[in-house]
Amino acid sequence: MRQYAEKNIVVLKWPGAQCTVDGNWRRVWHLHFQETVDPHISLASLAKELSEDDFQVSFVQEQAHDVQVHVITHRRHGESDEVVFANYALLEKINERIGTIETIQGQARDLWLPWRKE
């Protein structure tokens, strides 16, 4: 079995999945981008493109470099493995479509999958 040194363990600040009144699950990500988010990018259109049947995405731009990403699921539990990996894939797509993410939940992007190196 592989041994891990305590200094190599990274605790990520995953936003909790909150159960809504109507039984859905909502998670809110806080992303900070290296560059100003291009005002010509339609966040509403991008949200529609990134959403799926049971994975609804919406964006709220807080400041020039900061965006909240709201993810809602209604059939799958918000903490299920499927949803966790779908969130990782979403972060990667956002990085490709909007710009280079600098921090996720206030932590350096390179601590998070898929950017983290062992």
Beta-bridge partner residues of 32: 66, 103
d(CA 101, CA 93) in angstroms, rounded, equals: 11
At residue 81, the pLDDT reads 73
Task: Quick: pLDDT tens for 61-116.
Answer: 999 999 999 999 987 666 777 888 899 999 999 999 999 999 999 999 999 988 98
Task: Quick: pLDDT tens for 7-41.
Answer: 778 889 999 989 999 999 999 999 999 999 999 99
Query: Which of 98, 95, 99 minimizes the C-alpha distance to 112?
Result: 95
Query: Which of 67, 68, 73, 98 minimizes the C-alpha distance to 86?
Result: 73
d(CA 46, CA 24) in angstroms, rounded, equals: 22
At residue 92, the pLDDT reads 96
CATH class of 18-111: alpha beta
pTM: 0.89
